[in-house]
Structure 1
Amino acid sequence: MDSKVTEPLEIRRLTYADLPQVIAVERRAFTTPWSLAMFVLELSKPSGICLAALRGDRIVGYLVCSRYDTIWHLMNVAVDNRLRRQGIAEALMGHLFALADAPGERYTLEVRTSNGSAIRLYEKLGFRGAGRRRGYYHDNREDAVIMRRTATGEARSERALDADGAPPLPR
């Protein structure tokens, strides 16, 4: 069965309890996966936004974004290999922007030069190439494209993703 058709996508804040499933997706998605400790560190930061995409009770993707001074840094976005190109990453990014966007908010990320599908998605979402980090990826010394986005338009939503009582995002 195609889970895209049978189960709606839910996006909510990522929790520590989600990490076993997140690690499984991470290991399938990347040749140099993050460690459990890296996810725990990012979840512990009060200024970050960590989101999970679920179909039923299964995590099918996630996003980790950290705030550094005045810039949001998109640290990690992954979708289960078996469910790519179904709009999951775009939905995660849309929720991030709904929470964090305000006129002038800035975002940055790095992406492998070989990851054309991710680059196209980021461009669709308003990111533009801003440089290159030579030999950035340790597994094969591949370069990273640095991409940046500046938000325009309406101020962010102050609504919570779910009923967990999460505080408003820091400014």
Structure 2
Amino acid sequence: MDRINIRKMMLDDIDDVHKIEEEAFPLTTWKKETYIHEVTLNNFAHYFVLEKDKEIIGYIGMWMVIDDGQITTIAVKREQQGKGYAKQLLNFAMDYMQPPVKRVSLEVNVKNKSAINLYESLGFLYGGIRKDYYGPGMDAHVMWVNLDERH
């Protein structure tokens, strides 16, 4: 049986996380330095990795500012997608943020139908469009959920 563990992201994890990042978001990959900053210097940031049998197969990042939460990034290794790991990470993040967070938002590429379906299944609602959010011609849906109303 697979052993799944979600734990805080450490500096030693960033190389593995960055490989998943490059695979998941080849056009908008964050730099390793961004993760280093988020993990070490940003007091609002909370980053976690999902391990399967001690191998990092996914990660999630969030910001918590007073009672507002933002999912900054989430990805799962391509060969592990479709197995419920992203949903597990999102549920973990939303549980982690309560309290004090009451509302969580995120951006998702308008063409990423599987992610949009996942977010909708967790109670996220459509909140608008961010034009060119991921670059020219790559718009994002803004989605949000009130944590006390999620199903």
For the criterion TM > 0.5, the same-fold answer is yes
Instruction: Give ranges in structure 2 of 5+ residues lacking alignment.
Output: none
Alpha-carbon distance in 2 for matches of 1:103, 1:62: 22
Choose between structure 1 and 2: higher strand proportion: 2
Greater Rg over alpha carbons, structure: 1
Q: Percent identity?
A: 27
Where do 4+ consecutive residues of structure 1 move more than 4 Å? none
Structure 2 residue aligned with 1:96, among 79, 84, 93? 93
Per-residue CA deviation, residues 79-134 of structure 1 (Å, 9 max, x unaligned), is 00111011111111111122112487111110000000000111111110000011
Looking at structure 1, the residues matched to 23 and 138 of structure 2 have their Cα atoms a distance apart, in angstroms, of: 19
Q: Which residue of 1 aligns with 2:116?
A: 119
Other structure's SS at 2:49 match: strand
| Residue aligned with 2:88, SS | helix
Q: Does 1:43 align with 2:39?
A: yes
Instruction: Indicate the residue corresponding to 1:133 in structure 2.
Output: 130
Unaligned runs of 5+ in 1: 1-5, 154-171
Is 2:58 the partner of 1:61? Answer: yes
For normalisation by structure 2, the TM-score amounts to 0.90
How many residues end up aligned between the 2 structures? 147
SS in 2 for 1:152: helix
Amino acid at match of 1:24: K
Give the conservation status (yes or no) of the 8 Å contact 2:45–2:64. yes
Preserved contact between residue 102 and residue 152 of structure 1 (Cα < 8 Å) = no
Q: Which residue of the partner structure matches residue 23 of structure 1?
A: 18
| TM norm structure 1 | 0.80
RMSD over aligned CA atoms reads 1.6
Alignment correspondent of 1:158: none
Contact 2:17 2:59 in 1 (8 A): yes
